[in-house]
Amino acid sequence: AQRVTQPEKLLSVFKGAPVELKCNYSYSGSPELFWYVQYSRQRLQLLLRHISRESIKGFTADLNKGETSFHLKKPFAQEEDSAMYYCALWKLGGTSYGKLTFGQGTILTVHP
Protein backbone atom coordinates (compact mmCIF):
# COMPACT_ATOMS: atom_id res chain seq x y z
CA ALA A 1 0.00 0.00 0.00
CA GLN A 2 1.13 3.53 -0.65
CA ARG A 3 2.36 5.56 2.30
CA VAL A 4 3.75 9.03 2.85
CA THR A 5 5.91 9.75 5.87
CA GLN A 6 6.89 13.16 7.15
CA PRO A 7 9.20 12.39 10.06
CA GLU A 8 9.19 15.86 11.62
CA LYS A 9 5.98 17.19 13.17
CA LEU A 10 7.65 20.49 14.03
CA LEU A 11 10.52 22.36 12.42
CA SER A 12 11.88 25.68 13.61
CA VAL A 13 14.44 27.81 11.83
CA PHE A 14 15.55 31.43 11.90
CA LYS A 15 14.87 33.86 9.10
CA GLY A 16 17.50 33.59 6.39
CA ALA A 17 18.49 30.04 7.31
CA PRO A 18 18.07 27.13 4.90
CA VAL A 19 15.13 24.87 5.48
CA GLU A 20 14.42 21.29 4.44
CA LEU A 21 11.13 19.53 5.09
CA LYS A 22 11.50 15.79 4.73
CA CYS A 23 9.13 13.48 2.92
CA ASN A 24 9.54 9.77 2.25
CA TYR A 25 7.12 7.58 0.37
CA SER A 26 6.43 3.96 -0.38
CA TYR A 27 4.71 3.08 -3.62
CA SER A 28 5.15 0.22 -6.04
CA GLY A 29 4.24 2.21 -9.13
CA SER A 30 5.68 5.29 -10.76
CA PRO A 31 5.18 8.05 -8.17
CA GLU A 32 3.80 11.51 -8.67
CA LEU A 33 4.42 13.70 -5.66
CA PHE A 34 3.15 17.03 -4.45
CA TRP A 35 3.63 19.53 -1.67
CA TYR A 36 0.60 21.31 -0.23
CA VAL A 37 0.72 24.20 2.21
CA GLN A 38 -1.75 25.64 4.70
CA TYR A 39 -1.05 29.12 6.04
CA SER A 40 -2.73 30.27 9.21
CA ARG A 41 -6.49 30.66 8.74
CA GLN A 42 -6.29 29.80 5.05
CA ARG A 43 -7.34 26.74 3.13
CA LEU A 44 -5.03 23.99 2.02
CA GLN A 45 -3.42 24.84 -1.31
CA LEU A 46 -1.07 23.30 -3.82
CA LEU A 47 2.52 24.51 -3.52
CA LEU A 48 4.32 22.47 -6.14
CA ARG A 49 4.39 19.15 -7.99
CA HIS A 50 7.46 17.19 -8.95
CA ILE A 51 6.59 16.77 -12.62
CA SER A 52 6.60 20.54 -13.11
CA ARG A 53 10.15 20.86 -11.78
CA GLU A 54 9.28 24.40 -10.78
CA SER A 55 10.28 26.72 -7.99
CA ILE A 56 7.41 28.30 -6.11
CA LYS A 57 8.04 31.03 -3.52
CA GLY A 58 11.69 29.96 -3.56
CA PHE A 59 10.86 26.35 -2.68
CA THR A 60 12.06 23.40 -4.74
CA ALA A 61 11.64 19.66 -4.35
CA ASP A 62 13.45 16.88 -6.15
CA LEU A 63 12.13 13.37 -6.48
CA ASN A 64 14.79 10.84 -5.49
CA LYS A 65 13.51 7.43 -6.49
CA GLY A 66 16.54 5.65 -5.04
CA GLU A 67 15.90 7.05 -1.59
CA THR A 68 12.12 7.26 -2.15
CA SER A 69 12.17 10.84 -0.98
CA PHE A 70 10.71 14.18 -2.04
CA HIS A 71 12.17 16.71 0.35
CA LEU A 72 11.11 20.36 0.16
CA LYS A 73 13.92 22.89 0.31
CA LYS A 74 14.41 26.61 0.47
CA PRO A 75 17.83 28.24 0.78
CA PHE A 76 16.71 31.28 2.79
CA ALA A 77 13.58 30.95 4.90
CA GLN A 78 11.24 33.90 5.39
CA GLU A 79 8.81 34.55 8.24
CA GLU A 80 5.89 34.29 5.81
CA ASP A 81 6.90 30.68 5.11
CA SER A 82 5.58 29.70 8.53
CA ALA A 83 2.79 27.24 7.81
CA MET A 84 1.77 23.59 7.83
CA TYR A 85 3.26 21.63 4.94
CA TYR A 86 1.90 18.33 3.62
CA CYS A 87 3.60 15.96 1.25
CA ALA A 88 1.19 13.96 -0.93
CA LEU A 89 1.41 10.99 -3.29
CA TRP A 90 -0.86 10.53 -6.27
CA LYS A 91 -2.11 6.98 -6.68
CA LEU A 92 -4.00 5.68 -9.64
CA GLY A 93 -7.23 3.98 -8.63
CA GLY A 94 -8.17 2.87 -12.10
CA THR A 95 -7.38 3.67 -15.70
CA SER A 96 -8.62 7.21 -15.54
CA TYR A 97 -8.74 8.37 -11.97
CA GLY A 98 -6.78 8.46 -8.79
CA LYS A 99 -6.43 10.19 -5.46
CA LEU A 100 -3.89 11.83 -3.20
CA THR A 101 -2.55 10.22 -0.06
CA PHE A 102 -1.23 12.81 2.39
CA GLY A 103 1.49 12.66 4.99
CA GLN A 104 0.87 13.80 8.55
CA GLY A 105 2.30 17.24 7.93
CA THR A 106 5.14 19.37 9.28
CA ILE A 107 4.59 22.68 11.05
CA LEU A 108 7.31 25.08 9.96
CA THR A 109 8.01 28.09 12.14
CA VAL A 110 10.41 30.72 10.93
CA HIS A 111 11.63 32.98 13.72
CA PRO A 112 12.68 36.59 13.09
User: Least distance in Å: CB of 36 to other proteins?
Assistant: 8
Looking at the Cβ atoms of 12 and 78, the one nearer to other proteins is 12
User: Least distance in Å: CB of 15 to other proteins?
Assistant: 26
User: Least distance in Å: CB of 31 to other proteins?
Assistant: 11
Looking at the Cβ atoms of 11 and 78, the one nearer to other proteins is 11
Give the separation between CA 97 and CA 29, rounded to whole angstroms. 15
Q: Please report how many Cα atoms fall inside a 13 Å half-sphere around the Cα of residue 8, on the Cβ side.
A: 16
Q: Please report how many Cα atoms fall inside a 13 Å half-sphere around the Cα of residue 83, on the Cβ side.
A: 19
User: Least distance in Å: CB of 85 to other proteins?
Assistant: 10
Looking at the Cβ atoms of 23 and 110, the one nearer to other proteins is 23
Torsion angles phi and psi, residue 7, rounded to 5? -70, -20
| Residue pair 48/56 in contact by the 8 Å Cβ criterion | yes
Looking at the Cβ atoms of 19 and 87, the one nearer to other proteins is 87
| Residue pair 56/45 in contact by the 8 Å Cβ criterion | no
**What residues make contact with other proteins under the rule CB under 8 A?**
4, 6, 9, 32, 34, 36, 43-46, 49, 86, 88, 90, 93-94, 96-105
